[in-house]
């Protein structure tokens, strides 16, 4: 079983690359953003709670996110592996994911960070915001707050996974095909 964590700042191309990875490696794609947006759209209790944080550009608290992801993994017992997109975002989430997977005799195979310059990413998100309807992609202040949250809470995951020899950085700038090729070069070794 292959379990991949894909992370990077908002706008780095995680969603685009996740679509490629899930098909190539036959993985169940678990995107916290998609799961939260589904719950927001359907006005569930989780959706209302998540929206209260997301509207400010803040991360949804660990406990809520961890329980949600564990539930999604449990819904897919026949999966060949998982692609975690947007999770974990903190050391506490990574430790909880490791413990949860260990209880299932599984582990994270690799983590891949899509890296790109903030100014390029801000412009990508503002452009995406024009067509996506997502309010968090239409306000530069909220976008920059999301990057600050990422730098403070998610960037430390690089050292966490480096210590396990499971971290790989991939340049997220270029055509979709160029970034996809870079990802394949890393992941085809597993």
Residue 64 has pLDDT above 90, yes or no: no
At 135, is the secondary structure helix, strand, or coil?
Answer: helix
Confidence of residue 133 (pLDDT cuts 50, 70, 90): confident
Confidence of residue 144 (pLDDT cuts 50, 70, 90): very high
Mean pLDDT of the chain: 90
The closest of 31, 185, 2, 184 to 109, measured between CA atoms, is: 2
Q: Compute the distance between CA of residue 98 and CA of residue 101 in angstroms, rounded to an integer.
A: 5
Model pLDDT for residues 97-119, shown as the tens digit of each residue: 999 999 999 999 999 999 999 99
Residue 30 has pLDDT above 90, yes or no: yes
Q: Which residue has the higher pLDDT, 143 or 46?
A: 143
Q: Catalytic positions, please?
A: 14, 89, 128, 134, 146
Q: Compute the distance between CA of residue 73 and CA of residue 108 in angstroms, rounded to an integer.
A: 13
Q: How confident is the model over 118-147, as a mean pLDDT?
A: 90
Residue 96 has pLDDT above 80, yes or no: yes
Q: Compute the distance between CA of residue 20 and CA of residue 174 in angstroms, rounded to an integer.
A: 16
pLDDT in the model for residue 50: 84
């Amino acid at each position: 079983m292959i379990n991949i964590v894909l992370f990077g700042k908002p706008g780095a191309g995680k969603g685009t690359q996740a679509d490629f990875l899930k098909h190539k490696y036959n993985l169940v794609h678990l995107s916290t953003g998609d799961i939260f947006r589904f719950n927001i759209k359907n006005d569930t209790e989780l959706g209302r709670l998540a929206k209260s944080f997301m509207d400010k550009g803040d991360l949804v608290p660990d406990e809520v996110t961890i329980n949600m992801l564990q539930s999604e993994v449990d819904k897919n017992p026949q999966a060949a592996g998982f692609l975690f997109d947007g999770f974990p975002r903190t050391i506490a989430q990574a430790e909880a994911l490791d413990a949860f997977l260990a209880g299932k005799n599984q582990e994270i195979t690799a983590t891949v960070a899509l890296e790109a310059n903030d100014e390029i990413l801000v412009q990508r998100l503002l452009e995406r915001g024009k067509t996506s309807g997502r309010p968090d992609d239409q306000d530069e202040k909220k976008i920059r707050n999301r990057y600050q949250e990422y730098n403070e809470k998610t960037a430390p995951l690089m050292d966490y996974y480096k210590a396990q020899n499971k971290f790989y950085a991939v340049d997220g700038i270029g055509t979709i095909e160029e970034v996809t090729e870079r990802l394949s070069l890393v992941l085809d070794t597993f």
